[in-house]
Structure 1
Amino acid sequence: MPACKKFRHAPLENEDELDIIFDMSTCTNEFARVPGVDDVVQPIAIDVDDSPTPTPTSDRRPKKRVAEGSPAKKPIKNFRDKQFKRLVDVFVEKASSSKAATNSPANDVVMNEISEMLDSVIQAGADEGSDEHFYATQLLIKKEYRDVFATLKKPEVKLAWLRRTWEKRKKR
C-alpha cells in the first residue's frame, strides 16, 4: 500500500489534543483582501441552520491586467509544453538544414568555390592527397582563408601561403 493511502484512510493521532488546540480557531474571511480589487469584502452571513451563505459584492470578477511589453500570444503553461515546443523547433531546424544539405551540388556556391580553389592548388603543383592539398582542404573551409587565397596570383605563392598559414594555425 503506498504511503499516501496509509495516511488518507487512517484516523488522526492525538485527536483530543488537536481539538483542544484548534477548538476556538475559526476563519470567517472577514478581513481577507485581494490585491487589485477595490470592492469591500462583506462578511459571510450565517443562516439559522449554520450553513454559510456568501454574499457577493459584485457579479463580475475584475479582468486581469496585461503587463507592459507582454506578448500577445498565450504563454506556454507547463514544462511538458515547453519541452514539446523545443523538440518541434529542433526537428524543424534539423529538417530545414538537411533539406539545404540535399540541394544539388550545382546550386551550392560555396562548394563550387572550394572546388575551383582546390583545382587551383592542384594546378599550382600540389598532388591530390599531398600535404599541401590537405592543408588547402582544411583552410579553405573558412571564408576568410578563401578570400585571401583567391587574391593570390602566382601558383608558387599560393603553395607557400598554404604551408605558412597551416604552420601558423598549428602553433595556436
Structure 2
Amino acid sequence: MYTQWKTLNLRSTGLGKDPVAGCIVADDEWWEEQNKAMPGCIRFRTAPLEYEDQMRIMFESVIVTNETSYVPSGDGNVDVDEHDVVDVEGTNDREAHKAPSSSERRASKRPAPSSPKGKKKKTFRDQCMKHLVDAYELKAQSSKHSATSQVVDHVRDEIGNMLEQVIKDGAEEGSDEHFYATQLLQKKENRDVFITLKTPNGRLNWLRRAWEIRKKH
C-alpha cells in the first residue's frame, strides 16, 4: 500500500489535494488509469494512507515505486532463485504415454538425493523483511549515536569555556592553576561550583584549595 500511495503522489504532481481529507483531487479518468496500472489504489481516492509517518520510517530506505522500477507480480512466497524454475510444457501426450526404457527404469529406482535438513530457501518476502529490519536497526543506531555525540560535545564545550575563563583570570596555559583546572573541571560537581564564583581571585583561589584537598584524598 505504501508503494501505491507514494507512486500516486509522484504522478499527481500539479494536481491538488483535499484540504480536509488529504486525498488527491483528480477526475474519474485519471483515477481509472491509475487503478488499471495499480489495482486497488482506487481506495486512496476517498481516504489517504493511514500511519504514513510510521510506514515511511519502515519502508523509505528500501521502497521501489512504480515510477522507477518494474517488479514482476506474484505470490509473496515465490522463490528468488531463478534456477529453480522448471519448464513443464515441453512434452506432448505421445511422450507422456511413452513406455520407459530399461535404462530409464534403472535410473528411476535410484534414490533421489536428499536435501540438507534444516535448510529453508529464502523467499522474496523473507528478503524484504530482512531489508526492513536492517534499515530500521541502522536508523535506530544512527539516532542513538547522534544523541550521544551531542551530549559529549556539550560537555566538551562547557569545559573549554571554563578553561578560557581561567586564562582570562590570569592563569596562563602551563601554569599550576591552569593544570588544576584541566583536572578538576572534568567532574560536573566541580564545574557547578566554578560557575558560581564571581571574581578572578575567587576562582583561582578555589582551584588551588580544591587541588590541595584532592591531593589529600
Fold agreement, TM-score > 0.5: no
Which one has the bigger helix percentage? 2
- TM-score normalised by the chain length of structure 1: 0.39
- Higher RCO (C-alpha under 8 Å, 6+ residues apart): 2
Structure with bigger gyration radius:
1
- TM-score normalised by the chain length of structure 2: 0.31
